[in-house]
Amino acid sequence: MSQSSIKFAYWVPNVSGGLVVSKIEQRTSWTIDYNRKLAQIAEQSGFDYALTQIRFTAGYGAEFQHESVAFSHALLAATEKLKVIAAILPGPWTPSVAAKQLATIDQLTAGRVAVNIVSGWFKGEFQAIGEPWLEHDERYRRSEEFIRALKGIWTTDNFTFKGDFYRFHDYTLKPKPIQRPHPEIFQGGSSRAARDMAARVSDWYFTNGNTVEGIKAQVDDIRAKAAANGHSVKIGVNAFIIARDTEEEARAVLAEIVDKADPEAVNAFGDAAKQAGQSSPEGEGNWAKSTFQDLVQYNDGFKTNLIGTPRQIAERIVELKSVGVDLVLSAFLHFQEEVAYFGRYVLPLVRELEAAAQRKPVAETA
């Protein structure tokens, strides 16, 4: 098991409707006031990162969406140590705009911004804003060039780059970001193209929720590919966390979320998401095997099964760590209250279990 402690991120609810496509009551709001307070609670509770979402339009009931880069800056301004990951879509953004915007935010926030390059899955959104929609693997080829260009601009003077999607000639960005060598670059996706890109250029690979075995298979694949490329990549896994004093209570909350799911919105989202993956050469993407219940949390977060008592959840997190996971990306029903509960009851247990696992080999040899 890795020596360093597992990290925690939470999904910023900058999109309305929370993180489940359900009519269940959610004391979560997409407003800036709610989100500023949430970010403060999260950093006090021991969270390392907050991940914003980028949406121009949504097909699953997420009617309102605040833009991710502007929103990230507002959260950074309201906090002191939390890192905020701004989501960016190649297409609407170019690497030159993203590099400049994020370098400025990094300067303004003493080096706390990071970026999530999302390759996109939603054709209707691109059509709505008049952006060309590329085929699956082309989207990843463009994202990889985007990341290479970002790194080049952030680290090199007189940057010159000739790609199929982007060109730079003798460009020097000033000022560069504070963070060295550059702000961390995350990416999401589970297809072969996504994994190959992570194994070449990304600092972090985010994947949808899955069983420990499913995640282990992805971790092993990416780490082997990255090693062959002389690259190393860290791994974050999505999970919808339902921590309650008893397992029955937690399971009842899950049952209610699924019972009150909005079938029309879930099926519309499932159709668009599955269609996006089917256009990859392997015919598979993030959501290929997702059931109706899985799709109610739009990144398969129930599958990771962080549902139960604080101890059960802490044990599963440490199990994820033992197969190579570096970060848990969490979502909650009532974000403010549940982030605080997690920080109070789950996180200390995780740290205890991690410490016990570190001590174990010493005890065995004694």
Ligand X SMILES: Cc1cc2nc3c(=O)[nH]c(=O)nc-3n(C[C@H](O)[C@H](O)[C@H](O)COP(=O)(O)O)c2cc1C
Residues that bind ligand X (CB under 6 A): 53-55, 87, 118-122, 188-191, 194, 206-208, 238, 276-277, 280, 285-286, 299, 329
CB of 332: closest distance to ligand X in angstroms? 15
Residue with smaller CB distance to ligand X, 119 or 202: 119
CB of 48: closest distance to ligand X in angstroms? 15
Distance CA 147, CA 164 (A): 13
DSSP string over 64-107: -B--HHHHHHHHHHT-SS-EEEEEE-BTTB-HHHHHHHHHHHHH
CB of 68: closest distance to ligand X in angstroms? 7
Residue with smaller CB distance to ligand X, 93 or 159: 93
Q: What is the token pair recorded at 118? A: 């999302």
Alpha helix (H) residue ranges in the chain:
32-44, 68-77, 95-108, 123-128, 136-155, 192-200, 212-228, 247-259, 263-278, 292-296, 310-322, 335-341, 347-365
Q: Which amino acid is at 98?
A: A
CB of 303: closest distance to ligand X in angstroms? 12
Give me the residue label for tokens 């699924």: 258
Residue with smaller CB distance to ligand X, 159 or 287: 287
Residue with smaller CB distance to ligand X, 244 or 274: 274
CB of 306: closest distance to ligand X in angstroms? 15
Residue 86 pairs in a beta bridge with 115
Three-state DSSP class for 43? helix
CB of 104: closest distance to ligand X in angstroms? 21
Residue with smaller CB distance to ligand X, 120 or 177: 120
167-171 and 159-162 strand pairing = antiparallel
Residues sharing a CB contact under 8 Å with residue 98, sequence separation 6 or more, in sequence order: 88, 115, 146, 150
Is residue 6 within 8 Å of residue 45, measured between CB atoms? no
Residue with smaller CB distance to ligand X, 102 or 173: 102
Residues sharing a CB contact under 8 Å with residue 170, sequence separation 6 or more, in sequence order: 158, 159, 160
Residue with smaller CB distance to ligand X, 39 or 193: 193
Residue nearest ligand X, CB atom distance:
188
CB of 236: closest distance to ligand X in angstroms? 7
Residue with smaller CB distance to ligand X, 116 or 179: 116
CB of 89: closest distance to ligand X in angstroms? 6
Three-state DSSP class for 280? coil
Is residue 8 within 8 Å of residue 306, measured between CB atoms? no
